[in-house]
Amino acid sequence: MRLEAKLALFNALSKLLLVLLGALVIPPVVSRVAVSHTDQRLHEKKQEVLSLIARDGLAAFVRQEQDEAYADYNILKQEYITLTPEQGPAVALPEEKIFDEQRQVDKQVEDFRILSYRFLAQGRPYRLEIGSSLATVELLEDTLRRLALWVLIIGALLTIATDAAFARFLLRPLGELITRKLRNVRHPSAFPFAPIPTSTTDFRRLDDSLNEMMRQIQSAFEKEREFMSNVSHELLTPVSILQSRFENMLQDPELSHAHSLKIVDSQKTLYRLRNTVRTLLLIANIENEQYLREDTVSLSAVLAEVINELDDRLAQRELHLRVQLEPDYVLTRGNHTLLFTLLFNLVSNAIKYNRWGGNITVTGQPLPGHGYRLAVADTGPGIAPENLPHLFDRFRRFQAAGAAAPEGYGLGLPIALTIATFHEATLTATSEVGKGTTFVLEFGVGQQSGATI
């Protein structure tokens, strides 16, 4: 999963957790706020009533001679005010408390939030009660709860969107760095050293470190390529001289039979050494761009030449070959000789590392968009998964996965990979131990270097 997607997922989950936490915390908080708001309103009304009593006197509300109480209700019976004269001694006054209790209003019993205030006036205790219906308080709670949850949800959605946009903007240099300098670089010489535009110090340091590392790799690669080219040239000359001397010695009529056999064995060793040197020289020449890409090459035609060349080896091992290249693919800028070597090495490996009487399947099909996929599959012993990453390394040898598995593929696959890269193609391998190996060539991915016919 991409870093940007992980950050967006974490951001969304954290906001979801925040919303859930808010759903748990908001109701009791809102309830407390609604009760506090109601209590504040009751206190304000108490002050208003006391101000009216101070201005107009108690006679405007109660008739003390008949001990009549004063009561006032609003039309919906959501609030009431009562002022009641009390009997008994006036001790510990004034006294105030707020509580929830039921009251009967016009034969209806309602739950009220009540402020009760006992005070002393004209030498007599009075009780002032101001009540507010709890239904009104609950309505206020519900309104506040809905408002708070909607604000929380909308805020969470807005922060998710803004965080995702900011993360995308912040990580854009990293995406360019991966695309331009890591994913699309098939050869050290093709590495782009132009700096990635960014104001983030971490990405700048990463870009600089990559550039420095690739300069060192490019320098080492150039030295290796120059070394291979020089050594190959220097070795070919003495090898050729030794080969001529051996041939001249074999022409000597006085040479004994035993010595002749030793010279022939030496010639075989020299022949293998010469092939290795020529292979290294071929790789060096391809990497030094000493081959032209001026041929129009049909993969189907080249494959037919390869099969014709290897027909005897197929028959010797009783292998069954199936070819299906429909449609064919034609490279408009290729090198026929190198492409022959590429397909020859892949099919030759499929013969060499196949089981006796096995199958070889060569298939070709267009890729979605542009490009062409050619696969060579065998039914050999397969390659262990830990050895697959090193399959195209030069001179790499590895432990076999089974008794019949190869210990290495020599220089044939490095040559194939070099030729594929020369034609801007990719070469990959998949394998399953005991079932076989498949090599896949992909030509012209995202480019117009060829066409299907």
At 100-151, the pLDDT tens digits run 998 877 677 888 999 999 888 877 888 899 998 888 888 888 888 888 889 9
Residue 157 included in any domain: no
Angle at 146 between CA 142 and CA 151, to 5 degrees: 150
Could you read off the pLDDT of 49-77 as tens digits, one per residue?
Answer: 889 888 888 777 776 555 666 777 776 66
Domain shared by 328 and 395, yes or no: yes
Percent of the chain predicted with pLDDT > 90: 19
Domain shared by 439 and 409, yes or no: yes
CATH (domain of 335): 3.30.565.10
When pLDDT is averaged across residues 18-41 and rounded to a whole number, the result is 88
The pair phi, psi for residue 446, each rounded to 5°, is 75, 10
Domain shared by 328 and 242, yes or no: no
Domain shared by 237 and 258, yes or no: yes
Domain shared by 296 and 436, yes or no: yes
Domain end point (choices 253, 284, 315): 284
In the predicted structure, residue 446 carries a pLDDT above the cut 80: no
More confident: 280 or 203: 203
**pLDDT of amino acid 396:** 64
Domain end point (choices 284, 303, 326): 284
Residue 333 sits in which domain range? 292-443
Angle at 363 between CA 361 and CA 364, to 5 degrees: 165
When pLDDT is averaged across residues 371-391 and rounded to a whole number, the result is 88
Domain end point (choices 145, 162, 179): 145
Domain shared by 206 and 265, yes or no: yes
Residue 174 included in any domain: no
Mean of the per-residue pLDDT values for the chain? 83
Tell me which of 86-100, 192-206, 317-331, 361-375 is least confident: 86-100
When pLDDT is averaged across residues 280-295 and rounded to a whole number, the result is 77
**Residue 297 in tokens:** 């090459």
More confident: 184 or 130: 130
Domain shared by 278 and 342, yes or no: no
Confidence of residue 393 (pLDDT cuts 50, 70, 90): confident
What angle do helix axes 134-178 and 201-250 make, rounded to 10 degrees? 30
pTM of the model: 0.51
